[in-house]
Structure 1
């Protein structure tokens, strides 16, 4: 039976000539230009499309260059020896030039007449979409109007079928078609709306934004591995703070980080939120400076409110401090995995960053040396500095460990251990040593 994803009609085609837009071939990857020209020479339509066109229009340099064509994946592969076909949900051609990959997608149709390959979930989610069509079909099938713009290499014009050129000029993200239906097709579009608005400093069209809060629960249907990748895009692309604020504003934070959202809502002082936002601002600064940011540190930050709340609950039940810390870390990690598939190579260092926080008040020399030698010390110390943004209670610890990294003995002399520092590194009181029984000598 034929299926249709949405029925909003196309606006009249608008062709924006070269003298009315800022896109130049100088801003387009040489590899992408080679693919465009070769497809045209092979008798096919071919356009630069999507985010690259959008970014070039607003003065950004795209990281990726995608191409749309009427050639099937098999026809693309026949033209390029350096091509491989990928994907089941969306069949695509990747043309490889060293480290650069140019993604080439065949125009996809909006309506399945039964001859194509489309599969919908009962809830309306699109599982597979390989029904090919015309450029007009392809334009209306795309998610946002700003992503449905086509740059034509033959006359350097931008072709607009959905009003996207005007939306880019007005700096607004707007879905094509019925927003609720489009979100049900793919719930991750809600995250994409927030992420792209944050990246581009765009607003979200009121009609596009309105359904998000009551459809946020649909993110539970998305694959946790895919949500992990979306989180990296949200928070490690240089606009982490704006992305977080967008998630809050549109009711998506509880769907993505349920326990952290609950902890933030319960934290009346706002200290946890201040720390989190400060950490996200620092992350953006590191990305801007082209410095590395570890996903382990990022998730330690995002899930810290949940960890603090779980720790307080366990301690209120009378669980010993060291055991409560370990159990809280495991509990928060396990619960979050149900939503976002955080790999162990990140979740384990994340937990170490949390657990090391309990060592920082301890200033006995052996423990100081042991903490300094821990492989996660630097990340944990940076995390402690962030905690100071939420509470001045950590100022003395920050000063001590700042000095201890240069001269542990001087730091200990200047900041002697307190009486409570008799606990071991995990907060657990050391066991008393047993005295060996003296064996009687032969003379006795």
Structure 2
């Protein structure tokens, strides 16, 4: 007899638990759905509506081939030059630099060739099944029309520019990531509307594209609610801790008794970890996007990285999304949209004939660890606390897989991979 799609799958040997998931971005919602699906009683806690934070504004790629860390020997050596360029995709506000120095020192320590190789193994171990994990939730939530198998394209206008990606491509090849190197004609076959100046590039055909990020989160959230899950618009103030771990999550409006807690609050996760007695080097890569309502111009079929300038053009359902770079200034500094607006002439150059109106300015906060590896797994301090944050640029990619790994650990199942590289105590 076939089990109905909505039936819980928790085994009789694993009694249902009261679980509080702190954070209602794509990681928290996917985790909550998986846990609710397994028969647990799950409450999502977040002052903002599900999916309206950082999850809202990404480039939409489920990038299962994302195995190359942000820190690498080639990348960090370019930092001084990039900081002096007002059109660079990287910016560090001078007033923030002293505060981020400890994180930056760990970032540099993780940027050696040996560490890059180790980190790429860790990222591949969890990213390779990222789309498979999403497909299970997509089927459960009936969200098939939101995700398209169109790949992830990166284009460059010269051999010199393309050669800067050699280390990344060689690392992907060693990890078994599939990608197709492209010449000018092959680029045009995939995207006829791109400027003919782009002569080099590669496509990762196994990546999928979420054509409206918030709609996927909303679809997962709707199924979560249908299965009995609860969301409360509240802010966590503290945790009541007893002999067995966290007993209550105390918010600005209520106290939530629990058997387990999942911390999946993105860039704010380090504040929650501090409440639990654990310091973690989590910083924030502030990412900007502009939404362009296109009046006329060439069609773009898939998210495309304009590698010469370091920004992405993604054809979302509500317009063409221009996402760019990373700014380090913390989560409380006011936004500065000047840098992303400087990318507009380059977007016009990339898509000749593009006519548009800017209809949205957006800023989000990517939660980034110094080694580009997320924190996933059980707390060493409280046995009933589990972590799922620090996904940097690949939170969408790893959301469903993170939920699976956490669910395995809560249930006492073998997750099938070595979880050591993702433990919070590695810092």
More strand by share: 2
Q: Which has the higher contact order (CA 8 A, sep 6+)?
A: 2
TM-score by length of 2: 0.22
TM-score by length of 1: 0.22
Answer with 1 or 2: which has the greater Rg.
Answer: 1
More helix by share: 1
